[in-house]
Chain A
Amino acid sequence: MKLLEIKNLSKSYGELQVLKDITFDVSEGEVVAIIGPSGSGKSTLLRCATMLEKISGGEIYCKGEKMAETVGGAVRYANKASLKKIRSYFGLVFQNFNLFPHMSVQRNVTEALTVNKKVPKAEAVKTAQKLLIKMGLGDKAESYPCQLSGGQQQRVSIARALALNPDILYFDEPTSALDPEITGEILKVIKELAAEKMTMVIVTHEISFARNVADRVVFMDGGVIVEQGRPEEVIDNPSSPRTKAFLSHFSN
């Protein structure tokens, strides 16, 4: 089953076109890594899929439900109720975590459950505790984000996203704001999720990680998907000269 389908998506800021005619989909259980140079549009693609940016053209379906379409050149989003439902299908992990600094770690995880999903507090706390233990943060429930390291904060934000039980989890450069030695702990968590068949789309600069964990690697440049395929094809044996040029900067 396709959890995400994007057809002919374009995105412009005024004159500047950052995404050009992107067609892209993600099947259930798949782990997709999107790589490419800065400004290639990979984060924008993720932001369009998570409705943080409005698309300029094309169609997006989430779990088969229409999020947005383009009719006669005009983009039409689904109604508010449908969008609310669609929003519950995915989670997003930000580069800068974006935890709520005034809430405890536990409350960061439970707040959306109790407020938006009307889950009873005791049940939400249970869910949070389970996830925090899974993230190796069982003893940090009462801490505040400012008391945690960057890697710990990012793990809280992964727990926060997982608490809502999304069908698909997006990562927008989850390790870019972290020290190199901390990067590993986040990558390990993502790997564990991949082993549990969590559907994930990861925008990343970690090429070797992409090769290790992804079922499919997508290389973007200049607002288009240049090539995609199995990691051993795209990363070890790229067919496009642009992919080759980009990957030559990473000598393992």
Chain B
Amino acid sequence: MDIFIELAKKMSMTTMLEQLGEGMIKSLSIFGITLVLSLPLGLLVSFGRMSKNPVIRWIAKIYISVMRGTPLMLQLLVVRYGPWFLFGIRLTSDYNFPAVIIAFTINYAAYFAEIYRSGIESMPIGQYEAAKVLGFNRFDTFTRIIFPQVVKRILPSVTNEIITLVKDTSLAYVLSELEMFSLAKQIASSQTSFMPYLFAGLFYYVFNYIIAFVMERVEKSLSYYEIK
């Protein structure tokens, strides 16, 4: 129990948890906003990637290639400081958080796009043919017949990606965004204590545990039917 006595001397446990709590909220916001934006953007990119128009297809292909082929940390820096180095646009630190969201969103959209594509391309052609003969237009065919089945197919890959996103939120520290991990690091060094790291680790683990649990529930809710 020495460690707690030691801590009490410097920073009280409550203060530490309060500070970490703020980091937690920041991590959760990065996670939530990125997810809400990148899932639809990814679908849009996957349409581009599968477009009949070769120009659109190639733009999407290059976009995905760059986003997957370079480190997310570098992308964060480019989004934050690119406007200054490329166009001389000076942005204040107010731009840090939006920059984090933009970088995360465009990065994750690329991964989601490929997941959507794998799901859409694995759909049997017979589903499209049946829809066509029954008179469904393209929009209804996709929204009513194809997409619901795609969701079921891609759910496990999406879960993987979401869990990675939770852990990736810690990269926001390069833009001085005080999320869970950077705060833990800060407190740990100022207090010469390992406890903040343990809390941070616990936070990520519990968070991902909940996600895995929820996604399993969603998968189960779609198990009422089978896809050949």
Contacts and interface: CB of A to CB of B under 8 A. Distances in A.
A92 B135 CA distance: 11
How many chain B residues sit at the interface, stated as a range, is 20 to 34
Interface in B29-73: none
A208 B228 CA distance: 31
B145 to A, nearest CB: 6
Interface stretch (A15-23, A67-75, A108-116, A236-244): A108-116
Contacts of A144: 224-225
A100 B135 contact: no
B191 interface: no
Interface in A68-116: 84, 87-88, 90-92, 94, 96, 98-102, 111-112, 115-116
B135 A164 contact: yes
B226 to A, nearest CB: 4
B149 interface: yes
A50 interface: yes
Interface residues of A, number: 27
B130 A116 contact: no
A102 B130 contact: no
Contacts of A216: none
B228 A115 contact: no
Contacts of A52: 129, 132-133
Contacts of A84: 135
Given A115-B140, A115-B144, A101 B134 contact: no
B88 interface: no
A87 B135 CA distance: 7
A112 B135 contact: yes
B127 interface: yes
Interface centre among B127, B140, B225, B226 (most CB of A within 10 A): B225
Interface of B: 124, 126-127, 129-130, 132-137, 140, 144-145, 148-149, 152, 224-228
Given A84-B135, A101-B149, 14 more contacts: A51-B132, A87-B133, A87-B135, A88-B135, A92-B133, A94-B129, A94-B130, A100-B130, A101-B228, A102-B152, A102-B225, A116-B136, A144-B225, A146-B226
A-B pairs with lowest CB-CB distance, top 7: A98-B130, A98-B126, A146-B226, A112-B134, A116-B135, A92-B133, A144-B225
21 contacts: A50-B133, A52-B129, A87-B133, A94-B129, A94-B130, A98-B126, A98-B127, A99-B130, A100-B127, A102-B148, A102-B225, A112-B135, A115-B136, A116-B135, A116-B136, A116-B137, A116-B140, A117-B135, A160-B134, A164-B134, A164-B135
